[in-house]
Chain A
Amino acid sequence: GEDVEQSLFLSVREGDSSVINCTYTDSSSTYLYWYKQEPGAGLQLLTYIFSNMDMKQDQRLTVLLNKKDKHLSLRIADTQTGDSAIYFCAESMEYKLSFGAGTTVTVRA
């Protein structure tokens, strides 16, 4: 979606941290989401953050939200080969989701 922007590619070494960035436009979004798409599969909800939070941590995943700059990031600690996928940022707009173009994360040994 044109309202949600993210970089298209990220290459990271196994064991390093990955950081995927996203900017969105609708300041009234209640939730912001990260979805993951593995090869040959549909999307699955990875994590989400409520708009009144700054940070959310879930095991190896950390979501940071900067509402002032409308910037969302997803950090994956200790990146593994199974983390190779396309990651989509999404903002809620009137109970529907607007998705970014997706960031393809490639994990190299």
Chain B
Amino acid sequence: DVKVTQSSRYLVKRTGEKVFLECVQDMDHENMFWYRQDPGLGLRLIYFSYDVKMKEKGDIPEGYSVSREKKERFSLILESASTNQTSMYLCASSVQGAATNEKLFFGSGTQLSVL
């Protein structure tokens, strides 16, 4: 089974802090994604990556950056955390291919609270 592991289940940070959310997948997937999940809004795509050192903005990239130095690891960075970034963050991966790009495997999520 594919395993997508997010380093923390819960995080509490202060406004202005730099925050790193880590995600590792063990199935050699090319595609990796970061979403945030908010009640009533569903999942919104922050950033994604189709290859090492490659990144693309999603629908809500403002206030975030990402890093993909190795194929298995995709990091989400909040340069200066703000209270409106309090959310559940979900990492996902998928195999590259027309029929498989969208069959996502998700981690369990990181609930981030910014005080």
- Taking a contact as CB atoms under 8 Å apart, the answer to whether A8 and B40 are in contact is yes
Provide the bound-state CA to CA distance between A101 and B38, in Å: 9
Q: Given A33-B102, A96-B48: A42 and B42 within 8 A (CB)?
A: no
Question: A96 to chain B: which residues have CB within 8 Å?
Answer: 33, 45, 48, 58, 101-102
Question: B12 to chain A: which residues have CB within 8 Å?
Answer: none
Which of B101, B104, B107 makes the CB contact (< 8 A) with A45? B104
Provide the bound-state CA to CA distance between A35 and B102, in Å: 11
0/1 per residue, A76-94, Cβ < 8 Å to B? 0000000000001010100
- Taking a contact as CB atoms under 8 Å apart, the answer to whether A99 and B43 are in contact is yes
Q: Give chain B's interface residue range (CB within 8 Å of chain A).
A: 20 to 34
Which of A4, A8, A43 makes the CB contact (< 8 A) with B104? A43
Q: Given A92-B102, A95-B101, A96-B102: A43 and B40 within 8 A (CB)?
A: no
Q: Given A42-B107, A42-B108: A88 and B43 within 8 A (CB)?
A: yes
Provide the bound-state CA to CA distance between A1 and B90, in Å: 15
Provide the bound-state CA to CA distance between A45 and B2, in Å: 12
Question: B109 to chain A: which residues have CB within 8 Å?
Answer: 41-42
Question: B42 to chain A: which residues have CB within 8 Å?
Answer: 1, 4, 88, 99-102
Which residues in B have some Cβ–Cβ distance to A below 8 Å? 4, 33, 35, 40-45, 48, 58-59, 90, 92, 98-99, 101-109
A-B contact pairs, 21 of them (CB 8 A): A1-B44, A1-B59, A31-B99, A41-B108, A42-B90, A42-B92, A42-B108, A43-B90, A43-B106, A44-B106, A45-B103, A88-B42, A88-B43, A90-B102, A92-B101, A95-B101, A96-B48, A96-B58, A96-B101, A99-B42, A101-B42
Which residues in A have some Cβ–Cβ distance to B below 8 Å? 1, 4, 8, 30-31, 33, 35, 40-45, 48, 88, 90, 92, 95-97, 99-102
